[in-house]
Amino acid sequence: MEDLTNQILAVDSFVYRWYLMPAVLLLVGALITVRTGLVQIRRFPVAVRTVFAGAFQKGGGKDGTITPFQALSTALASTVGNGNIGGVATAIIIGGPGAIFWMWVCAAVGMATKYAEAVLGVHYRVTRETGELAAGPMYYITGGIKNQTFAKPLAYAFAFFGAVTALLGTGNMAQSNTVARTFVEAASTIFGLDVPHWVPGLLITIFVGLVLLGGIQRIAAVAETLVPSMIVLYVTTALIYILLNITHLPAVFGLIISRAFSPSAAVGGFVGASVAQALAAGISRGVLSNEAGLGSAPIAHGIAKVNHPAEQGVVGLFEVFVDTILVCSMTAFIILSSGLWTDPAYQASSGDLTAAALSTNIPFASLIVALCSFLFGFSTLIGWYYYGEKCFEFMVGSKMIMPYRMLFTALVMVGAVIDVPVVWAIGTLLNGFMAFPNLIGLVFLVGTVKKLTTEYFENKAGT
């Protein structure tokens, strides 16, 4: 297992070298940003109004399967997950404080990328033989790129890696792994109990299996109820910690900025990190967290009830802001201000580092993090199952869904009991393989995104 882990880590490190995946993600995001006229900045107020208006209405456009807010909730269920708790922690352990700066950069351009994905998801959605709407990169690649000899293999490559990523990657095993570790940490620090990892693993596996039986309607309904509550719980706890440690804020920001452009020296158990390591860790965990460019979210956004694709595009834009700029930044501040990121005891940690950091000031914080981790992980698991199912359905049709569902549920349990390094390395590596076909598709279709953006906002008179 150690040899396999090292091999996976080596490939993962290669894929996320600055001139490969990080460069491609940033360049594609920058291209969309320019072609859409800085949509993530100019249209951010529209995004905020659209999301909050959608939270209080049940309707939407005439066509679609779920409401725009349900689509946002389903997408946020997948993005605001344990990447925000465990992924940020591993980014800092691997790349040092500077990794957070590159996570912010990833989010800044990722807001435009997610906007484009949601726009294309709605514009090219199809009705399958079951009568259900389906959307995502596999449909906008085949629907938007005229050369089908090129488009079909690209679409199938995305669908294959999407289905595999949902089974083995950050949407499944990484979530149950962090849930189990934070649960065990809480049981140990608060109650003095030595709970094996399989206990929380079994619990979340059962809950996930029960929800998946209901399909997208149940997934969306659960997400719509669960996501706002879990974000409020975590953000409120984080804000209390930040206010208690507000004097550390300038030093933490200074550390993040300075270490983004200069190496982080070894301190305590932290072995140090180069600028390249900070960039790679920040980008890989940024993609893991907000999924911009990954191609997953348009599978949910694309079936929303909206009158125009750009209407859902701004909702996607807001999604990245909440996930990375808001939630991930809070986690980073908690970890860095606590000083535990240099503690030798936490150099192989993920969500348990966040729990321990919060516990330095807030009693029973590890229990709160365990609950948030469970909710984050649970919501991400059900959202990612839907993504994987739609990718699998694109490849083989609707008749083989049940075996895929059973395998997905079984792997939730597997993820809870395996080691941290291998599960996160597999997850980020598969994210990279999944993103490449989608990013190529976005480059080919950026003209369509620009056209739809201009059309929508001109009709809205610049609102």
pLDDT attached to residue 421 = 65
Q: In the predicted model, is pLDDT for residue 342 greater than 70?
A: yes
Does some domain include residue 268? yes
CA 436 to chain centre: 16
The answer to whether 335 and 88 have CB atoms below 8 angstroms apart is: yes
Comparison of pLDDT for 304 and 171, the residue scoring more: 304
C-alpha to C-alpha distance for 29 and 108, rounded to whole angstroms:
9
Does some domain include residue 462? no
Q: In the predicted model, is pLDDT for residue 92 greater than 90?
A: yes
Q: What is the mean pLDDT of residues 76-92?
A: 77
pTM over 0.75: yes
pLDDT attached to residue 462 = 45
**Which pair of tokens denotes residue 431?**
């994210």
C-alpha to C-alpha distance for 461 and 463, rounded to whole angstroms:
6
- Exposure pattern of 68-106 as b/e (b: 16+ CB <10 Å)? bbbbbbbbbbbbbbbbbbbbbbbbbbbbbbbbbbbbbbb
C-alpha to C-alpha distance for 14 and 354, rounded to whole angstroms:
27
The enclosing domain of 408 has a CATH number of 1.20.1740.10
C-alpha to C-alpha distance for 31 and 416, rounded to whole angstroms:
39
Does some domain include residue 461? no
Does some domain include residue 1? no
Phi, psi of 267 (to 5 degrees): -140, 125
Comparison of pLDDT for 149 and 3, the residue scoring more: 149
Does some domain include residue 112? yes
Tell me: the pLDDT tens digits for 248-267? 999 999 999 999 999 999 99
Q: What is the mean pLDDT of residues 279-304?
A: 87
In a 3-state reduction of DSSP, which class is residue 53? helix
The mean of the pLDDT values for the chain is 86
For residue 237, the 8-state DSSP code is H
C-alpha to C-alpha distance for 156 and 20, rounded to whole angstroms:
22
Phi, psi of 293 (to 5 degrees): 95, -15
Domain that holds residue 362: 10-452
Does some domain include residue 374? yes
Q: In the predicted model, is pLDDT for residue 148 greater than 70?
A: yes
Does some domain include residue 458? no
User: Could you give the number of structural domains in the chain?
Assistant: 1
Does some domain include residue 197? yes
The pLDDT confidence band at residue 369, using thresholds 50, 70 and 90, is confident
Tell me: the pLDDT tens digits for 431-456? 889 999 999 999 999 999 999 999 99
